[in-house]
Amino acid sequence: MWSGPKYAKHYRDLAEKMDVEVRTSTTVLGWEDSLTPALSQREKGHTLEFTSPSGLGVVNAQAVLLATGVRERPRSARLIPGKRPQGIYTTGSLQRFIYQEHLPVGKRAVIVGAELVSLSALMTLMGAKVDCAMMITEEAKHQIEFPYVAMKWILADILSRTPIVTNARVTNIFGQKQVEGIEITRKDGTKQLVECDSVIFTGNWIPEHELARMGGLQIHPVTKGPVIDRNFHSTVKGVFVAGNLLRGVETADRCALEGKWAARGMAKYLEIVSTGKSPVSQ
Ligand SMILES: Cc1cc2nc3c(=O)[nH]c(=O)nc-3n(C[C@H](O)[C@H](O)[C@H](O)COP(=O)(O)OP(=O)(O)OC[C@H]3O[C@@H](n4cnc5c(N)ncnc54)[C@H](O)[C@@H]3O)c2cc1C
């Protein structure tokens, strides 16, 4: 078991040891070659455009690994009507508020979602001494599978006594400055008002596939992540994909292993490109 900072440091140290430049606060905006998608053009590699505090720039590479991850679906993407008061979070923003900014997030919360990350949100709330009125899911049952279901028993059932309300969804949010309550609607149409001062939208993941789409990678209709072969090579020559961009969502260990496997595919690809042999399968 490692803490997040220790885990991050391990990989940062590895990158430093291998003399890999790491550019933070830098966002890749797109592909310089996206308007000329002919594969023959891409044999020369790819040019990515980025923006950073020191301005715009480009970087060229023969092989690119896309590992842009996933996002939790926020309130706006779930089309939930109502006011826009303070107190509406995703798990990510809740954890940033509490652990990074040390800001108060309220006294009584509702967690929307009942999957593994929803338990992370619950644990974060418990640590900040915020009560949780309920976890609510539109599904018929929670999606916390073995072995993690033991965490649900300990955190939700025993320690915090948080009920999981199934077959129900949030249909309104009330409050002027701060959230004052929500309306939930059950599958049979009955409505209930729940008093709370914060609402945490958890999970319901969307792969961060903007760059992949702009690069012309084929996207799988079910996972919404790029299609890859066994070498983690996408449908665009020289572009590899690993991690949660492939689908929502797996745990960090699985994503890290995929990074390793994709790196092997990339090394093989670069060797073939540099020796001029025929390229690996697409
Ligand atoms: C709130 C939250 C809590 C979680 N808790 C756990 C947990 O406790 N344990 C666990 O195993 N998993 C947890 N997960 C799942 C976690 O996301 C994965 O385990 C892991 O981080 C996925 O790794 P990844 O490399 O695929 O993507 P990420 O770690 O999400 O990394 C994607 C990176 O790509 C960058 N990026 C995206 N677009 C661009 C762009 N255009 N230009 C430049 N950079 C870009 C992002 O800034 C980010 O740094 C959690 C997820 C969330 C959201």
DSSP character string of 72-133: E--TGGGT--B---B-EEEHHHHHIIIIIS-----SEEEEE--SHHHHHHHHHHHHTT-EEE
Domains, in order of start, for the chain: 4-70+206-275 (3.50.50.60), 74-203 (3.50.50.60)
Distance 36 CA to ligand 1 centre (A): 30
The per-residue pLDDT for 58 is: 95
Pocket test for ligand 1, best of 148, 255, 257 (most atoms within 8 A of CB): 255
Q: What is the DSSP letter of 178?
A: B
What average pLDDT does this structure show over 261-266? Answer: 97
Residue with the smallest CA separation from ligand 1 atom 16 is 252
Give the model confidence (pLDDT) of 72-94 as tens digits: 999 999 999 998 999 999 999 99
The per-residue pLDDT for 40 is: 46
What average pLDDT does this structure show over 46-54? Answer: 95
The per-residue pLDDT for 5 is: 86
Do residues 263 and 270 make contact, with C-beta atoms less than 8 angstroms apart?
no
Using alpha carbons, select from 157, 105, 106 the residue that is nearest to residue 134.
Answer: 157
Is the pTM higher than 0.85?
yes
The per-residue pLDDT for 281 is: 47
Signed CA dihedral, 15, 215, 46, 231: sign only: positive
What average pLDDT does this structure show over 257-265? Answer: 97
Distance 211 CA to ligand 1 centre (A): 15
| Predicted confidence (pLDDT) at residue 279 exceeds the cutoff of 80 | no
Mean pLDDT (the chain) is 92
For residue 34, name the pLDDT band (cuts at 50, 70, 90): low
Q: What is the DSSP letter of 235?
A: S
What average pLDDT does this structure show over 53-78? Answer: 95
Joined together, the tokens standing for residue 254 give 């699985």
3-state percent breakdown (helix, strand, coil) of the chain, nearest 5: 30, 25, 40
For residue 43, name the pLDDT band (cuts at 50, 70, 90): low
Give the model confidence (pLDDT) of 171-219 as tens digits: 999 999 999 999 999 999 999 999 999 999 999 999 999 999 999 999 9
Pocket test for ligand 1, best of 117, 123, 201, 217 (most atoms within 8 A of CB): 117
For residue 2, name the pLDDT band (cuts at 50, 70, 90): confident
Q: Is 52 in the pocket of ligand 1 (CB under 6 A)?
A: no
| Predicted confidence (pLDDT) at residue 36 exceeds the cutoff of 90 | no
Joined together, the tokens standing for residue 270 give 């670069």
Give the model confidence (pLDDT) of 114-170 as tens digits: 999 999 999 999 999 999 999 999 999 999 999 999 999 999 999 999 999 999 999
Long-range interactions of 55-60: CB distance < 8 A, separation 24+: 58/32
Q: Is 116 in the pocket of ligand 1 (CB under 6 A)?
A: no
Radius of gyration for the chain, computed over Cα atoms and rounded to the nearest angstrom: 22
